Amino acid sequence: MDQAEFQTAKQQMLRKQLRRRGIHDPKVLAAMNKVPRERFVSRQTHNEAYADRALAIDCGQTISQPYIVALMTQALELSGKEIVLEVGTGSGYQAAILAELAREVFTIERYAKLSKQAAATLSALGYRNVTLMVGDGTLGWADRSPFDRIIVTAAAAEYPPALFKQLDEGGILVIPLGGRDYQTLQAIRKAAGRPRTVSLSACRFVPLVGNC
């Protein structure tokens, strides 16, 4: 595809995948329109960058379908002032979307290869408010906490206690919870130190791996 074809595919994504399925936050739609998703996918799937499905990337991981990226981002209710922790950098696409909408983004990836690739892509695109780390995302990033928002792009049976502890009061944690083959995307708000959960959508993510 050339740039004109990518732009056409992107506009179809915005219209058919996002707006028609309830993505209504204008800031989220603007970020999805601005970030060039084709820069974050593999060469093998380059022409499918805006397809309505997850795509394989290196290390046996995936880049989530555009709708899920937008849904998770919308659920964070970002105003532009927040400090966000992302668990699962992957290709860096979700981090780029967050960087358009939050004050600062911290993102953890357990695969050094993916983190290095994501850092190079984000830097090439001019993002300066994203800090990357290779490590165990289930432990969070205590030195940088508390976080206003936390987003987890891999599935767990339950949310890691360390992440909820590092979430500031009133903050929101978005995470897919469930078994290996089926999960429910959850938005968990910390209210008076306790979780208040809203279910968003059925989903399927790669498993979250860590010490917690």
Residues that are catalytic: 64
The residue whose two tokens read 């209504």 is 24
Going through the chain in order, the beta strands assigned E by DSSP cover: 55-56, 62-63, 83-87, 104-109, 130-134, 147-152, 167-178, 183-191, 194-203
Q: Give the integer Cα–Cα distance in Å for 212 and 189.
A: 20
The residue whose two tokens read 């990226």 is 69
Measured between its terminal Cα atoms, the distance across the chain in Å is: 42
Q: Give the integer Cα–Cα distance in Å for 8 and 57.
A: 23
The residue whose two tokens read 């010490």 is 211
128: which 2 tokens? 């300066």
Residues contacting 63, CB < 8 A, separation 6+:
40, 41, 54, 55, 57, 90, 91, 93
